[in-house]
Amino acid sequence: DQQVKQNSPSLSVQEGRISILNCDYTNSMFDYFLWYKKYPAEGPTFLISISSIKDKNEDGRFTVFLNKSAKHLSLHIVPSQPGDSAVYFCAAVRGGSQGNLIFGKGTKLSVKP
Enumerate binding residues for another protein (CB under 8 A). 31-32, 34, 36, 41-46, 49, 51, 53-54, 89, 91, 93, 95, 98-101, 103-106
99 vs 113 by CB, closer to another protein: 99
CB of 106 to another protein, least distance (A): 6
**Of 14, 20, 17, 12, nearest in space to 79 by CA:** 17
CB of 53 to another protein, least distance (A): 7
77 vs 93 by CB, closer to another protein: 93
Which alpha helices (DSSP H) does 7-79 contain, by range? none
Q: Can you spell out the DSSP letters for 69-90?
A: TTTEEEEEESS--GGG-EEEEE
Q: Which residues contact 70 (CB under 8 A, 6 or more apart)?
A: none
40 vs 113 by CB, closer to another protein: 40
Measured CA to CA, the distance from residue 25 to residue 12 in angstroms comes to 23
CB of 9 to another protein, least distance (A): 9
